[in-house]
Structures are given as structure tokens and as C-alpha cells.
Chains A and B, each alone.
Chain A
Amino acid sequence: MQGLSLSSLKKHRALIPLYAIVGLGCVGAAFYTARLALRNPDVAWVNKAEGASNEAYRSKQYKFYSPNVDYSNMESPAPKY
């Protein structure tokens, strides 16, 4: 098909932005899904210490953008026993 190889893409330059934008969308979707699966404090893949998967987030920010909560000096109020 025209536009799928590098040589024919030179003849149909209008396709380049389409490829760039779709590529960016794919990368973004893959990154976000992977982040949800691997970094989300509510997700645990190994159930070794049940309920302890999110201990790493005691003083860390998970949200990309947090206008209301300042995480810089926030610590989980739960006591360690």
C-alpha cells in the first residue's frame, strides 16, 4: 500500500503528521496502561505481604498533577507498628 514504506512515504508527505500523531497516541496509551498496571498503589501482582504493596507511597506522589494536595512534605499519618 502507498505510504507504508519509506520510499513511497516521500511521495505522500501529507501522511507524515498522521503517522507522528498516531504513533504518539499509541506510545502514550501504552505508557499509561503500563503505569496503571505497574505503579498504581491499588494494584498488586505479588500477594506476598497482603496489603503492603503501597507502602512505598507513604510519602510519595502518585498523581501526575496535584493542585490541592502538596506531597512535598506529606507523610502517611498511619503509625508503624
Chain B
Amino acid sequence: MANIVKREHRGEVTAAEPVRTVTYSPPVDVVETADELRLYADLPGVRPEDLDIRFENGELTLHAKVAPRPEKGEFLLREYGVGDFYRTFTISEEIDSDKISAELTQGVLVLHLPKREAVKPKRITVKTS
């Protein structure tokens, strides 16, 4: 039977099932600027074609398929498990969903969620009368 591995630095393991079916919650950073919400996620071992990003009704879903590693061999030390990544976020900010863009470089996803024009802060010029 496969071992159950808890991966501390990844946060909670969503299912206590054998290694092959465990899904990990990736750590993320979120930065808000005047124009966008920018999300960084650590997705080691993920190729762009394995990543599925959805945004519907203010809910953002990240799902990445990861093939088991190693394919063969005998473990001498096992400190982390390998599995799919899955995480959802509720975004209260008004997002221009047509302009969402994403890049995945060396296992780091950078997702740009541009704010809708209407919610961007506007500078109001005050005139003296």
C-alpha cells in the first residue's frame, strides 16, 4: 500500500488518500495594485499544458495535473509527496475577465487579474472657485 505523506510547506492536504491521488494546495502570494490583482503560485513540476485556470462568478480555480515522480527506483528519503495541485479563491473585486492573463515560468505561475474600469481609483481634481 502506498504511504500517506503530509506536505507541511504546502499547507493542508485535501485528501488523506494514497500518494497517487493526493491533491496539494499550492502556496500563493497576492498583490493588489491600482490596476490589477496579481497572484503568484508555486507549482513545481507543472507544464503550461497541464494547468487549468478558470474564473467564473467571482470564483477562481487553479488545477494542475502532475505526473508521479520518480517513475521508478527505491526511496531512501522521502520528505515530500508529489501530486496534483488544486485551489480555489473567491474574488470580491470586479475583474475584467476578458483581460486575464497568465504566465508559467520555472514552476511559478503569475496570474494577472485586471480590475474593471469602473472600480479603478480615480483621482478627482479639486478646482478652486
- Asked if A pairs with B, the answer is no
